[in-house]
Structure 1
Amino acid sequence: MTRGQRIKGNVPVEATSFVGRRHELTYARGLLSETRLLSLIGAGGVGKTRVALRLASELGRAFGDGVWYVKLAGLHQPALLPHTVANALGLRDGAADWTLETLAPHLEGKTMLLVLDNCEHIVDACAELAQGLLAASPELRILATSRERLRVPGEFAVPIPPLSTPSTTDAESATGDLMHYEAIQLFVDRASARCPGIEIDGRNRNEVAQICRRLDGIPLAIELAADRVKTLSLHQIREKLASRLDLLTNGPRGVPPRQQTLRASLDWSYELCSEAEKDLWARLSVFAGEFELDAVEGVCQDDQMASADIVDVVEGLLDKSIVVREERDSRIRFRMLETIREYGHDRLVEAQQDAQMRRRHRDWYESLATHMAEHWIGSEQVDWLRRFRDEHANLRGALAYTLADQVDAEPALRIAAALAWYWHARGALSEGRHWLTQALAQTDKSSQARIDGLRVNAFLAILQGDADAADRSLSEALATPEVENWPQLMASLDMTSGLQALLVHRLDEASKYFAAALPTFRESGGVEGEIFTSMLDGMALAFRGDRDAAKDRFAKVLANSDQTGDLWFKSYTLLFLGVVHWMEGHLDTATDLARQALRGKVLFDDHTGLVLCLEALAFFASSSGDWKRTAIILGAADTIWGKTGTTVDNFADFKSLHDECEAQLAPKLPKAALATMRQQGSELPASQAIAYALGEHNEPGAEATGSSTMGFEPLTRREWQVAENVAEGRSNRQIANKLVISPRTVDGHIEHILSKLGFSTRTQIASWVAERQNHPGPRQEQ
């Protein structure tokens, strides 16, 4: 073929239907009109080649000299890259020794799109070639696919994420169309081709959704799974995905070997990594879900991998699409797709490092949990609880490994006991008891860890009203002779015994326990024990009728909290002080204090604290004769109690006040109207219930607008941006493109928004945003 002959292109015809990717195509198409080098970046098997081919086909008419596809997967000698490009272009100059210098003149003056597919294994050569050809041919455009960027000046990179998958909520819903999720579309399309007639219905929708979720929305994995429908049921496919790398084999003939199996695709990515990156990839597989850089440094560093080098290696894995970066609450977190994590774990096992790395993982999270427990009193309490919310999967992993190891269960005892306030705030009382009960069953020596585990197990049982279990744990702990060797621990047991007495209205007994514990805490510098015990003693005094003494006790607690930066106990103390003022008839003061407490509990997302504040504000509304507000707040409290892991019945004095409030309310409203108002309150999203209880709206249907009296915003800044885009009708992909984040990050933000606001649909988010925009108020990043 002679130079100057018009070339139309060689883009391969697509053998199967193209599914989804509308937003990525739109975004990339727009960028190609502005940049001359566009790279599609993503993990192996995510569909970069299919997107590139579809984009090339759509743009064919825009390039008068053709669209040319250069397949590089089988090229392993970088020096032959110019030869490969020349062959793809149809240049047949047998005398030419194809180099950048000899190839470039053939592209001068050409209006052409060159598609370089699979650049990652010869990325330096591709970068050099692209830079040289672009300099030589001003009308040339290059579209590259790679697992990492070429790092050429002027390059634009478009992340190609996995296909959208349904959330757990959507998958489990009996209604709603799952076919708008791209992963579902692809699975059904490929499964129908393999086994005509397959459909999603009420019997199998959850199976298909779980298959797509377990495969992380990776197209290669989904196609390989769909290929099994002729021999396996959907249920069998889902069950066998526990070992997905072994199941997903035998891809179609004619595709490169690296796309024949999921494992081969990951092998390809693995071989492109440096030795340090390979090592860290394997080590990162011990993390469950997300993780932060300090955890990576703490778990993965050793003589072969210094802490100072880890940042660079993590960046390398980010560049190669092995690790994904996300931002939450102004913190950077990382994660791996589950298929990538599983592959890394296989490499870890092969290297015989699995047990060692799991011990390090366990030890680091034990250190994190115990550090939080030892430094609970201070200004970082909110950050601690948010961190542990995000680390929940890793904490479970550390606990499960320790107990499965059956060598030494004490680390599990220390972790589970250190998380006492986390179990409490999250309403995860049963889970905390589950781990403690298992760990206690595997230890029998009289250690400080065992006694503290018994104490926390009793504490959680008390909150759930399980008096028998609490008695057994406390009795065993107090009967241990060695307990006398640890005065603070003995004082903590007295405090816990006092709490048990307090919550069943044995007030004199409770005060005796508190009186026994307080001197030890004060003498030994146990600030947390002193604040907590003093607060509980104030409650006992209040419910015994000694209100002046109770207010004096609460005032000292508040002063101590202010001095130490504590907000957890302060917010509870403000609530109980408000109850005392209400008992004395100071309704305005009581309401103000309870609302201050409620704002504090919002920061912690402390379900028990939130619902106790709502109960109190319902009592106060009843005293003012506002029966509608009383009914609505009680209805909202009914719903939130269900998230606490306990009930109002387990708080004897609050239960008495609750019953009195119910009794006063019943005759004041018609039965049907009362039921309607209670139902109305119970259906309020949490944020609306809180705003209503704070007095920021006269009607519960209106949403919080952030008045000057309200110091919190339920959504973070980024979540608010996502919510605004949802309200404007954008899809997750469009939102990702606009905010320059991954679609999976958008998925996570929307799940958090739905959870925080108590919604179940995007329409509710849109209505909520519209209401906020009509009543603007301050928005605080949390």
Structure 2
Amino acid sequence: MIGDASTSASGLPVRLDSLIGRREELSLIRRLLQTSTRAVTITGAAGVGKSRIAIAAAESLKRSVSGVWYVDVSGSGGEVAAAVAHELKVDSGEDALSAVTAAIGESDCVLLLDDVDEAVAETTAFVDVLLTSCPGARLIVTGREPIASAGNVLVALGPLGAHDLTASSDAVRLFADRAASADARFAVDEGTLPHVIRICAATGGVPLAIELAAAQLQFLDVRTLAKRMDRQLRTLEPSGSAYRSLRAAVEDSWERCDPAERRVWTDLSVLAPGWDLELGEAMAALSVPEPDSATAVVKQLIRRSIVHRRRLEGGVRYELLPALREFGEERLQDPPEVRRHFVTCMIRRLHDAEDHWFSGRQAEILRRLRGDIPNIRRAVKTAAALGDTDRAVEVVVTGWRQAFQIHGSEDELATWVAMALEAGTPSPRWAALGHALRTAIFGQSGKPGLAAAELEQAGAARDIVLSGDDPDIARTCDAAVRSAAETLERDDGEAAILLRSLLNELGEDAYRFGLMNTPQRLAARLYALGDTEAADAVGAAIVERAVAVGDRFERSFLLTTRATAAAAVGDYTTAEAAAREALVLKRGLGNGLGVAQALELLADVARERSDPVRSARLLGAAAARWREAGALRGNYPPYFYDRDRTERAVRHRLGDPAFDRAFGYGAALSEDESIEFALHRIVEAHGRAGVPSLPGASPLTARETQVAALVADGASNKEMARRLFVSIRTIETHVQNALVKLGLRSRTELALWYREHPTRR
């Protein structure tokens, strides 16, 4: 590790630098060892700080035990007991293990066995004997993979947080602290913070990489360093022996892997972070074709801390940390073959999602797709870079709705389709489908000129396909082009005729997930025409299929469409009922774009019912959902209501200051909270920005109250996230929302509020 170390009187190495962050992990290890747990193994990837936190944990316990000893097992040659005996200054004789157990006896002590990777089996055997023979002994073990002792508890140490970084994030604080040693004049301020955040994010939050990056300020300015972080194994190579090499640490992990594990490591390096086990297994199958063996290799890489396991709300995702990923890419034996295999894997996943949308797997598919978006993007880039234009277009065309529309990032679609089409010369089939998709994108975003130009290219490619000898492909391309043309049609009657024709021709294929969304669009056009009976009939066919498998997305989509049409003709009773039911179905789907549409509709209902404050709050909540989705509002009248008219009317009624206060209130709500608010399940009169709280009522949601209680107990964000099984980002959002609603400025004030208002919890 970086920094000089000597030995303290307690036998622990003395660090001359400070420990930044890790409060939750340190508290957990200390709590385990102070209760019934007698052995803790700290595992993690190279450079995450296993030794550092182990030493800190042992240091925190030294006043409560009779002795603390530190043993570096890495140079023991597998003679663990002899290394311990040497540290204890015990004459080991011919039986070092017996000598150690006799010396420790029943004394209450802590023994830290550091870096046991070269002697995992020997360490396991030593720990088992010590736990049996020495009832007062407590052990802390560090390594990249866990020991197998039955009395051991595993603490997997991950990197510091590297997403949504701010000046107060642990990764940034660590960089700032270590940078002071490299350049005493360096400071994290408004000018340097963006570059520091970029550097820390590029490291993936690995402390060793952050420390090495900070040391580079002896030679580079922070802006140049940030630009070079895409190749950190080279950029962060230390200039002298005082610093541990990141490359050397990664190479050590490489040497411990067998040939199959190394091949799979390199195969996994082409994936973007955040893949699931199924995708990892599919990639591993390239080098290890037997499924059970491929799974075993992936699990072994997780065990060896090569693959990092990251808990997210609702599941687990995996990644190679940046330096490990870069190292794996360097050692790819056949990069084109591996990258082609990756694209194939993603196409299979997208077709699987499309084929099984109306099935009992819908909930699973929704969860999977949300996490797959980074790798869908990477698949487009990879296929384009390989010059495989057809497959690049196939990724986008197959994934347009599931990846980009449901999860609210549809606006980037045009760019991705362009990248795919421009990678080379697509075949007529994929040219027709790609340009048809761009037609629909531009047609629904108010760019009729661009849409018309794309439609012309799509039609020309379609005509070539129609002259060919594959009727199925010809049918698909013709339907796609005609469907795209509908988005340019402003006459609802003509559009309905076209969509009805397509629906009849396609039959059951019209209900495939990403095909063209034909039934939903037909229902929207019929509602816009005022033909409610016909629209309801089309909707009934959708609902019949949806209910059979527990679908929520298609039903909620249909309800939002109906609410839009009802509001357009002044039927606010129907609009409210449909929008509220849509929000109930959308809860937990991750469809922020759809939530925003429903909130805007309810805002217009509130305007019509002379409740301008509620309307402004709902508009603010909707704006936050659009912002989170990174999406711009579409311009396809059957789906999108004119929210600008609502805002103008409400702003005029309230005046700018009052409107902005109410809008800001709504914008501070999370997605779940905005749904609760829209459904009248939370108190509307929150004490903030001059809006009085209802007497005796808590202005916080139940979850915010839980968070306030934990803040009052002194818990960190990480501790709260662990206890409540949510992400740290969610905790930060709850804390911020509580502060805003209560008109407070700090966590201390929030803690005081909680203690002083026992009747309002």
Would the TM-score normalized by the shorter structure come out above 0.5?
A: yes
Match of 2:594 among 603, 609, 621: 609
Aligned-residue offset at 1:146: 1.8
Q: Which residue of 2 aligns with 1:413?
A: 393
Q: Which residue of 2 aligns with 1:596?
A: 581
Match of 1:40 among 23, 42, 47: 42
Q: In terms of mean alpha carbon deviation, does 7-16 or 597-606 score higher?
A: 7-16
Q: Which residue of 1 aligns with 2:81?
A: 82
Match of 2:436 among 440, 455, 459: 455
Match of 1:264 among 248, 260, 280: 248
Q: In terms of mean alpha carbon deviation, does 583-592 or 131-140 score higher?
A: 583-592
Secondary structure of the equivalent of 1:386? helix
Q: Which residue of 1 aligns with 2:139?
A: 142
Secondary structure of the equivalent of 2:146? coil
Match of 1:393 among 369, 374, 379: 374
Alignment of structure 1 residues 382-781 onto 2, 5 Å: 382-406=363-387, 408-421=388-401, 422-479=403-460, 480-484=462-466, 485=471, 486-501=474-489, 505-522=490-507, 532-559=517-544, 561-563=546-548, 566-578=551-563, 587-638=572-623, 640=625, 650-652=635-637, 677=662, 681=666, 684-696=669-681, 699=684, 701=686, 725=710, 729-735=714-720, 738=723, 746-747=727-728, 750=731
Alignment of structure 1 residues 269-288 onto 2, 5 Å: 269-288=253-272
Aligned-residue offset at 1:105: 3.5
TM-score by length of structure 1 reads 0.81
Q: Which residue of 1 aligns with 2:171?
A: 183
TM-superposition CA deviations, 1:6-41 (whole Å, max 9, x none): x97543333444444444333333333344333332
Hey, what's the Cα distance between the residues in 2 that align with 1:587 and 1:609?
19
Secondary structure of the equivalent of 1:124? helix
| Aligned CA distance change for structure 1 residues 287 and 749 (closer, same or farther; 3 Å) | farther
| Aligned CA distance change for structure 1 residues 68 and 728 (closer, same or farther; 3 Å) | closer
Q: Which residue of 2 aligns with 1:367?
A: 348
Secondary structure of the equivalent of 2:228? helix
Hey, what's the Cα distance between the residues in 1 that align with 2:599 and 2:748?
24
Q: In terms of mean alpha carbon deviation, does 671-680 or 50-59 score higher?
A: 671-680
Q: Which residue of 1 aligns with 2:13?
A: 12
Q: Which residue of 1 aligns with 2:113?
A: 116
Q: Which residue of 2 aligns with 1:337?
A: 321
Match of 2:124 among 122, 127, 133: 127
Q: Percent identity at matched positions?
A: 27
Q: Which residue of 2 aligns with 1:25?
A: 26
CA contact (8 A) 2:438 2:454 kept: yes
| Aligned CA distance change for structure 1 residues 723 and 276 (closer, same or farther; 3 Å) | farther
Cα RMSD for the two superposed structures: 4.1
User: Which amino acid in the other structure matches residue 27 of structure 1?
Assistant: L
Hey, what's the Cα distance between the residues in 2 that align with 1:107 and 1:528?
66
CA contact (8 A) 2:124 2:148 kept: yes
Hey, what's the Cα distance between the residues in 1 that align with 2:41 and 2:514?
58
Aligned-residue offset at 1:281: 2.3
Hey, what's the Cα distance between the residues in 2 that align with 1:317 and 1:157?
16
User: Which amino acid in the other structure matches residue 126 of structure 1?
Assistant: T
Q: Which residue of 2 aligns with 1:318?
A: 302
Q: In terms of mean alpha carbon deviation, does 582-591 or 218-227 score higher?
A: 582-591
Aligned-residue offset at 1:388: 1.9
User: Which amino acid in the other structure matches residue 129 of structure 2?
Assistant: G
CA contact (8 A) 1:726 1:762 kept: no
Hey, what's the Cα distance between the residues in 2 that align with 1:560 and 1:249?
58
CA contact (8 A) 1:581 1:587 kept: yes
| Aligned CA distance change for structure 1 residues 345 and 133 (closer, same or farther; 3 Å) | same
Secondary structure of the equivalent of 1:343? helix
| Aligned CA distance change for structure 1 residues 640 and 298 (closer, same or farther; 3 Å) | closer
Hey, what's the Cα distance between the residues in 2 that align with 1:492 and 1:59?
68
Hey, what's the Cα distance between the residues in 1 that align with 2:656 and 2:69?
76
Secondary structure of the equivalent of 2:216? coil
User: Which amino acid in the other structure matches residue 47 of structure 2?
Assistant: G
| Matching of residue 301 in structure 1 with residue 285 in structure 2 | yes
Secondary structure of the equivalent of 1:444? coil
Unaligned runs of 5+ in 1: 1-6, 172-177, 704-713, 777-782
Hey, what's the Cα distance between the residues in 1 that align with 2:225 and 2:507?
61
Aligned-residue offset at 1:751: 7.2
CA contact (8 A) 2:445 2:636 kept: no
TM-superposition CA deviations, 1:624-661 (whole Å, max 9, x none): 44444444444544555556677667234777865765
Secondary structure of the equivalent of 2:142? strand
Aligned-residue offset at 1:215: 2.1
CA contact (8 A) 1:465 1:646 kept: no
| Aligned CA distance change for structure 1 residues 246 and 724 (closer, same or farther; 3 Å) | farther
User: Which amino acid in the other structure matches residue 201 of structure 1?
Assistant: D
User: Which amino acid in the other structure matches residue 81 of structure 1?
Assistant: V
Q: Which residue of 1 aligns with 2:691?
A: none
Q: In terms of mean alpha carbon deviation, does 592-601 or 575-584 score higher?
A: 575-584
Q: What is the number of equivalent residue pairs in this alignment?
A: 727
| Matching of residue 49 in structure 1 with residue 51 in structure 2 | yes
TM-superposition CA deviations, 1:682-709 (whole Å, max 9, x none): 5655444433333445736499xxxxxx
| Aligned CA distance change for structure 1 residues 104 and 600 (closer, same or farther; 3 Å) | closer
Hey, what's the Cα distance between the residues in 2 that align with 1:574 and 1:666?
28
| Aligned CA distance change for structure 1 residues 553 and 622 (closer, same or farther; 3 Å) | farther
| Aligned CA distance change for structure 1 residues 353 and 9 (closer, same or farther; 3 Å) | same
Secondary structure of the equivalent of 1:298? helix
TM-score by length of structure 2 reads 0.83
Hey, what's the Cα distance between the residues in 2 that align with 1:219 and 1:667?
53
Aligned-residue offset at 1:119: 0.9
